[in-house]
Amino acid sequence: MQLIEQHIAAHKNVPGALLPLLHAIQDDIGYVPQDAYKSIGKALNLSVAEVHGVVTFYHHFRTEPVGRYILQICRAESCQSMGSEKLEAHVKAELGIDYHQTTADGALTLEPVYCLGNCACSPAVMLNDEIYGRVDANKINQIISEARAGELA
Amino acid sequence: MTVTVYIPRDSSALSLGAERTAKAIAVEAKKRDIEINLVRNGSRGMFWLEPMVEVATDGGRVAYAPVQPEDVAGLFDADFLHAGAHPLNLGLTEEIPYFKNQQRLTFERVGVTDPVSLDDYIAHNGYQGLQKALKLGGAEIVKIVTDSGLRGRGGAAFPTGIKWNTVLGAKGTQKYIVCNADEGDSGTFSDRMIMEDDPFVLIEGMTIASIAVGATQGYIYLRSEYPHALKTLNTAIASAYNAGYLGDDVCGSSKAFHLEVRRAAGAYVCGEETSLLESLEGKRGLVRFKPPLPAIEGLFGKPTVVNNVISLATVPIILNKGSQYYADYGMGSSRGTLPIQLAGNIKHGGLVELAFGATLRELLYDFGGGSANGKPIRAVQVGGPLGAFLPESQFDTPLDYEEFNKIWAVLGHGGIVAFDDTVDMAKMARYAFEFCAIESCGKCTPCRIGSTRGAEVMDNIINGKDVQKNIKLVRDLSDTMLHGSLCALGGMTPYPVLSAMNHFAADFENRS
Ligand SMILES: Cc1cc2nc3c(=O)[nH]c(=O)nc-3n(C[C@H](O)[C@H](O)[C@H](O)COP(=O)(O)O)c2cc1C
Ligand code: SF4
Ligand code: FES
């Protein structure tokens, strides 16, 4: 909570502060805890309901803790044309989870994404901030096992 | 002499292993005690060849591609540093037909320079447009942009000069320049390439816009899916401040322009300009009613220019070379060039900047080389998730805003996604509804409810249930969305749905 208070103090006077503040919190601890809505609202002169409304409007913001890595699979048209549906099914089976869930070992959270701007190298996925192109079952298995071993940045 | 070696830092190149290739080359050079000057350039946009390594020679840059770490020792053995023969040697980069046959104006430096080097930018025509703009009045700058015929590259193709003129004429002490870098369309990455591979050109374009309309603050609203672009932009902005190209006194002109990147948060609708402004203000991205136009009452209620990345990044060359130079490219009312993005199931995917007027067929086959696997290309979607699907019989349509209008299609942001003959167009129509349902801002009923209902009805069609009745239902729903939606998310979802139905009827009718 102290960390969150620091972010709030740093953003309080920024015009249109709410999104930059939510990003700062999520970058830091991986999600935006609902407990923080009250102090955020107080600092920015918003009601708790308004803060909640903003957090839930945007797909990027999460209100629950996540795994060490976030694996995003592109579901958009260009990646579909190169077999992303199969890839998606493979990953779900491999990890035993669906979208918006985290593996039991806490290594990976699976998220859908709609285009990573890597459409000339479809299908594409992103692991935290690193992007991968022309991903097939072998490549994704390797990415997953490296992430599990904690070998990636 | 130390040889300069180029290895891209562009996301797509990184996604194919450019970082590992760069490391392998640095390590191998050290091992052999050879000094090299390793530059991390942008990508030339020939993504099937990434990671592409280029070596500077007296005759120009020579390409080796694609280079994996395991190729590196062999390249040194073949003396690639002096353009030695090797199976991966492709000759001079700029003689590769895919590259040579383009008209690169907006992308003149992309892949050529080190994106974060201000010196490199200036050595390659950078900041000449701004220098010219600083000698002109706002109305003169606006006139040049108007005369160039530049139309917004974000999708709606509205003349950029006319928009600027409204902001110039609007009363107000505080005005804003907002760059729409939300690039949500599947099949598009030209904004990303500009921001990662030549960020100063966007900064320069926004600075010229600020001088033209009298704005002192700019924001780049950048989608959160582009972390590399975020870093590159922030690095470039810091250098521009340091060198006096941004700040309280731009180039000693006593004009102020401040610039900041703001991260979006994964909502497609926030690419719509009024939703974007709401988001920048820290709110939910609900689309606003128009009027008032953002040019009159935009960000925080002040006059605001909202332009796409490519529109703004094209302004420097127009100021530098003149409106006529730019207007001499193109056809009809589509002047200049369009950075086209070839994506999806295509052999040679990448960035092709061309004057308006080339046909889809030329792009798909002469540049694209056909589908990735050699199967026939059955359909292409042009202009993102709200763009129509086109069958082969329409591949001779020239890329021109009006010609596309005539066939009930759009160019949008210039993305072309190819599908081979295994595509199920009923599933694509279903996905169009699904995407609209996921991304709807919820303000109007036809979009919010219609899209969810549309996906359900498409499920029935896909399962072969009451097909004829359900096809009619989809048409009725589409009609309601077309005419009853506040913005193009709901209003254009019928484009992919109905075009799929009209051109690929068998995929809908013959379900078992
Ligand atoms: C649902 C929706 C999404 C949009 N997404 C984008 C986008 O990602 N980038 C963009 O530049 N324009 C996008 N637009 C178009 C903008 O509303 C606006 O026309 C554009 O930013 C104006 O800039 P321009 O004139 O330079 O094209 C979108 C429009 C709609 C309706
Ligand atoms: S059409 Fe959809 S996205 Fe656009 S304003 Fe209406 S509900 Fe929002
Ligand atoms: S559609 Fe998947 S990266 Fe663009």
Please give the average per-residue pLDDT across B140-160, as a whole number: 98
Query: Is 90 exceeded by the pLDDT of residue A1?
Result: no
Q: Is the pLDDT of residue A152 over 80?
A: no
Cβ–Cβ contact B478 with A under 8 A: no
Catalogue all structural domains in chain A, each as residue range(s) with its CATH number: 2-57 (no CATH), 69-148 (3.40.30.10)
Which A residues in the span 57-76 are in contact with B, Cβ-Cβ below 8 Å? 57-61, 72, 76
Model confidence at A3, in pLDDT bands (50, 70, 90)? confident
Q: pLDDT digit string (tens) for B75-131?
A: 999 999 999 999 999 999 999 999 999 999 999 999 999 999 999 999 999 999 999
Residues B401-432: tens digit of each pLDDT: 999 999 999 999 999 999 999 999 999 999 99
Q: Best substitution site from B16, B186, B191 to test ligand 3's pocket, by max atoms within 8 Å of Cβ? A: B186
pLDDT category at B511 given cuts 50, 70, 90 is confident
pLDDT for B375: 98
Q: Is A135 in the pocket of ligand 3 (CB under 6 A)?
A: no
pLDDT tens readout for residues A72-131: 999 999 999 999 999 999 999 999 999 999 999 999 999 999 999 999 999 999 999 999
pLDDT in tens, B152-186: 999 999 999 999 999 999 999 999 999 999 999 99
CB contact under 8 A, A119 and B345: no
| Interchain pair B284, A53: CB under 8 A | yes
pLDDT at A25 over 80: yes
CA of B462 to the centre of ligand 3 (A): 25
Residue B480 beta carbon below 6 angstroms from any ligand 2 atom: no
With an 8 Å Cβ cutoff, are A59 and B265 in contact?
yes
Alpha carbon of B398 to ligand 3 centroid (Å): 25
Query: Average pLDDT over chain B, rounded to whole?
Result: 98
Q: Do B285 and A58 touch (CB under 8 A)?
A: yes
Rg of the Cα atoms in chain B: 24
Q: Round to whole Å and give the CA distance between B455 and B458.
A: 5
| Reduced DSSP (H G I as helix, E B as strand, rest coil) percent helix, strand, coil of chain B, to 5 | 45, 15, 35
Q: What is the pLDDT of residue B506?
A: 97
Which among A100, A115, A128 is the top mutation candidate for probing chain B, defined by the most B β-carbons within 10 Å of its own β-carbon? Answer: A115
Which residue in the block uniquely carries the two structure tokens 């942001």? B413
The C-alpha atoms of residue B510 and residue B512 are separated, in whole angstroms, by: 7
Q: Would an 8 Å CB–CB cutoff place B419 in contact with chain A?
A: yes
Q: Nearest residue of B to residue A72 by CA position?
A: B225
Work out how many CB contacts closer than 8 A connect A with B.
154
- CA distances in angstroms from A16 to B234, B278, B461, listed in the order given: 19, 9, 45
Which spans in B180-308 are helix H? Answer: 190-197, 199-213, 227-242, 273-280
Whether residue B53 contacts residue B21, with contact meaning beta carbons closer than 8 Å, is answered with yes
Cβ–Cβ under 8 Å, residues A143 and A125: yes
Kindly give the number of the ligand 1 atom that is closest to the alpha carbon of B180.
Answer: 11
**CA-based end-to-end distance of chain B:** 70
Give every CB contact of residue A101 below 8 A, 6+ residues apart in sequence.
Answer: A109, A110
Percentage of chain A surpassing pLDDT 90?
Answer: 94
Q: Does B14 touch chain A if contact means CB atoms closer than 8 Å?
A: yes
Is a pLDDT exceeding 60 seen at residue A153?
no
* pLDDT tens-digit map of B184-197: 999 999 999 999 99
Each residue's pLDDT tens digit, B287-334: 999 999 999 999 999 999 999 999 999 999 999 999 999 999 999 999
Q: What is the DSSP string of B156-183?
A: T--BHHHHHHHHHHS--S--EEEEEE--
Q: According to the model, what pLDDT value does residue B409 have?
A: 98
Between chains, do A133 and B12 touch, taking CB under 8 Å as contact? yes
A44 inside 8 A of chain B by CB: yes
Query: Residue A116: its chain B contacts at CB < 8 A?
Result: 11, 225
Q: What is the pLDDT of residue B439?
A: 98
CB of B265 within 8 Å of any CB in chain A?
yes
Q: Which atom of ligand 1 has the smallest separation from the CA of B156?
A: 19
Binary contact (A16, B224; C-beta < 8 A): no
Q: How far is the CA of B153 from the centre of ligand 2 (A)?
A: 21
Give the ligand with the smallest distance to the CA of B47. 3
Relative to beta strand B3-6, strand B176-181 is unpaired
Extended strands (E) in B75-133: 89-92
pLDDT band at A2; cut points 50, 70, 90:
confident
Residues from chain A contacting residue B262 (CB–CB below 8 Å): 16, 19-20
Query: Given this model, what pLDDT does residue A33 score?
Result: 97
> Looking at the complex, does the CB of residue B183 fall below 8 Å from at least one CB of chain A?
yes
The pLDDT of residue B79 is 98
**Structural domains for chain B:** 3-100 (3.40.30.10), 118-327 (3.40.50.11540), 330-420 (3.10.20.600), 425-509 (1.20.1440.230)
What is the helix, strand, coil percentage profile of chain A, to 5? 50, 10, 40
pLDDT of residue A23: 98
Atom of ligand 2 nearest to the CA of B490: 1
- The proportion of chain B whose per-residue pLDDT surpasses 70, expressed as a percent, equals 100
- Give residue B407's identity as a one-letter amino acid code: I
